[in-house]
């Protein structure tokens, strides 16, 4: 019973970490990264598709993202989608491919991004703590229903606390890496 609760809780915490990692990847750090653009939705072929479904990417000199559509007829749509996105980058279209130059960050922008990633990290820490709280409620209910003993409850609470601390530590580690990326 307890192992099921802990396993389910750990799965939820793992999902939170994965979402946190993918959210951090979408934040521009002054370095060109394919993850900045691959999820942009492009209107083409009478539907919406992500950019990675209609083009190849290449990073040049660490600052330029080259986007080469498989079908040149969608290049204008890709350009529009990039302009509409929250990236704040201006595409340069040469008819065959689009180039995006990722500018270096100003000190002010770095500070804004650090605040933003800290806020995101705190959101995921809260999410992990909520997962712990829900698991604690299940453990308390199992004790109340006499499905587990008090000793089992105390042991499960300890294991749950270690699990929570481990996943919050992971959030902090990914946060530190992202802050370092921003400040470099």
pLDDT values of the chain reduced to their tens digit, one per residue, 184 residues? 888 999 999 999 999 999 999 888 878 676 777 887 888 889 888 888 888 888 998 888 878 889 999 988 889 898 888 888 877 788 898 888 999 888 777 888 889 889 999 999 999 999 999 999 999 999 999 889 888 888 989 999 999 999 999 999 999 999 999 999 888 7
Could you tell me the fold of the domain covering 34-101?
Gyrase A; domain 2 (3.30.1360)
Of 45, 40, 136, which Cα lies nearest the Cα of 85? 40
Of 113, 112, 50, which Cα lies nearest the Cα of 77? 50
Place of tokens 């299940």: 138
DSSP letter (8 states) at residue 30: S
CATH superfamily assigned to domain 2-26+106-183 = Ribosome-recycling factor (1.10.132.20)
The number of beta carbons lying within 10 Å of the beta carbon of residue 164 is 21
Every domain range in the chain assigned CATH 1.10.132.20: 2-26+106-183
pLDDT value at residue 165: 96
pTM beyond 0.85: the answer is no
pLDDT value at residue 25: 81
Taking CA atoms, 68 is separated from 48, 57, 58, 98, 142, in Å, by 18, 6, 8, 7, 57
pLDDT value at residue 138: 93
Q: How far is CA 98 from its chain centroid?
A: 25
| CB proximity list for 21: less than 8 A, separation 6 or greater | 174
* CA separation for the pair 182, 184 (Å, rounded): 6
Every domain range in the chain assigned CATH 3.30.1360.40: 34-101
């Amino acid at each position: 019973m307890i192992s099921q609760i802990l396993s389910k809780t750990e799965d939820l915490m793992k999902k939170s970490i994965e979402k946190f990692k993918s959210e951090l990847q979408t934040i521009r750090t002054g370095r060109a990264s394919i993850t900045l653009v691959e999820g942009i939705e492009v209107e083409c072929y009478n539907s919406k598709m992500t950019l990675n479904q209609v083009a190849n990417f290449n990073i040049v000199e660490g600052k330029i993202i080259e986007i080469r559509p498989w079908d040149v007829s969608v290049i204008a749509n890709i350009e529009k989608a990039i302009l509409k996105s929250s990236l704040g980058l201006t595409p340069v279209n040469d008819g065959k491919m689009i180039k995006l130059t990722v500018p270096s960050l100003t000190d002010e922008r770095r500070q804004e991004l650090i605040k933003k990633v800290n806020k995101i990290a705190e959101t995921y820490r809260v999410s992990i703590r909520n997962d712990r709280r829900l698991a604690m409620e299940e453990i308390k209910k199992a004790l109340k229903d006499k499905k587990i003993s008090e000793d089992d409850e105390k042991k499960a609470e300890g294991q749950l606390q270690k699990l929570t601390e481990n996943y919050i530590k992971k959030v902090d580690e990914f946060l530190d890496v992202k802050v370092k990326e921003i400040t470099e």
